[in-house]
Amino acid sequence: MQQHPTPHANAPVPQARRATRRAAIRLALAVPTTWALALGSAGHAVAQTAPAAFPTKTIRFVVPYPPGGPTDLMARMLQPELQSRLGVTVVVDNKGGAGGNSGSAEVAKQAPADGHTLLLAASGPMAVNPSLYASMPFNPLTDLVPVVQLSAFPLVLEVHPSLGVKTLPELMALAKTGKPVLSFASAGNGTPQHLAGELFNTMAHVKMGHIPYRGAGPALNDLLGGQVNVMFDIVGSSLPHIQSGKLIPLAVTSPERAKVLPNVPTMAEAGVSGYQITGWHGIAVRAGTPQATVDKLNATVNAIFKDPAFRVKWEAIGTPVVAGTAADFGALIKSDAQRLGKLVRDAGVTMD
DSSP letter string over 13-76?
PPHHHHHHHHHHHHHHHHHHHHHHHHHHHHHHHHHHHSPPPS--SPEEEEESS-TTSHHHHHHH
Pairing of strands 248-252, 144-159: antiparallel
User: Of 271, 247, 272, 267, which is closest to residue 257 (Cα–Cα)?
Assistant: 267
Q: Say if residues 71 and 192 touch (Cβ distance below 8 Å).
A: no
Domains of the chain: 59-152+278-347 (3.40.190.150), 154-270 (3.40.190.10)
Residue 51 is predicted with a pLDDT of 56
Sign of CA dihedral 209, 189, 238, 168: positive
- Given a cut of 50, whether residue 46 has pLDDT beyond it is no
Q: Say if residues 278 and 124 touch (Cβ distance below 8 Å).
A: no
- Given a cut of 80, whether residue 133 has pLDDT beyond it is yes
Q: Is the previous residue joined to 51 through a cis bond, with omega within 30 degrees of 0? A: no
352 pLDDT tier (thresholds 50, 70, 90): low
- Given a cut of 60, whether residue 36 has pLDDT beyond it is no
- The mean pLDDT value for 317-326 works out to 89
Percent of the chain with pLDDT over 90: 65
- CA 220 to CA 201: how far, in whole Å? 20
Taking the alpha carbons at both ends of the chain, their separation in whole angstroms is: 119
Q: Mean pLDDT of all residues in the chain?
A: 87
- The mean pLDDT value for 4-15 works out to 46
Q: Say if residues 110 and 104 touch (Cβ distance below 8 Å).
A: no
3-state SS class at 244? coil
DSSP code for 182: P
- Given a cut of 70, whether residue 26 has pLDDT beyond it is no
Residue 48 is predicted with a pLDDT of 43
Interval 157-175: pLDDT, tens: 999 999 999 999 999 999 9
Residue 52 is predicted with a pLDDT of 66
Which residues lie across from 279 on neighbouring strands?
A: 153
Tallying the residues shown for the chain, one arrives at 352
Pairing of strands 59-63, 90-94: parallel
- Given a cut of 80, whether residue 259 has pLDDT beyond it is yes
Interval 66-85: pLDDT, tens: 898 889 999 999 999 999 99
* Residue that wins the pLDDT comparison between 262 and 47: 262
The 10 Å Cβ neighbour count of residue 200 is 27
- The mean pLDDT value for 217-231 works out to 96
Residue 92 is predicted with a pLDDT of 99
Q: Indicate yes or no: pTM above 0.85.
A: no
Q: Say if residues 148 and 302 touch (Cβ distance below 8 Å).
A: yes
| All residues at 6 or more sequence positions from 314 whose CB lies less than 8 Å from its CB, including other chains | 77, 305, 321
- CA 22 to CA 25: how far, in whole Å? 5
- Given a cut of 80, whether residue 300 has pLDDT beyond it is yes
- The mean pLDDT value for 110-131 works out to 96
- Given a cut of 90, whether residue 45 has pLDDT beyond it is no
- Given a cut of 80, whether residue 350 has pLDDT beyond it is no
Interval 85-103: pLDDT, tens: 999 999 999 999 888 999 9
3-state SS class at 248? strand
- CA 63 to CA 46: how far, in whole Å? 37
- Write down the H helix ranges in 87-167: 101-109, 123, 129-132
- Given a cut of 90, whether residue 340 has pLDDT beyond it is no
Pairing of strands 183-186, 59-63: unpaired
User: Of 266, 250, 272, which is closest to residue 157 (Cα–Cα)?
Assistant: 250
Which residues lie across from 230 on neighbouring strands?
A: 159, 184
- The mean pLDDT value for 137-153 works out to 97
- CA 267 to CA 199: how far, in whole Å? 11
> Where would I find the beta strands (DSSP E) of 117-193?
117-122, 144-159, 183-186
Interval 166-213: pLDDT, tens: 999 999 999 999 889 999 999 888 788 988 998 899 899 999 999 999
Residue 33 is predicted with a pLDDT of 45
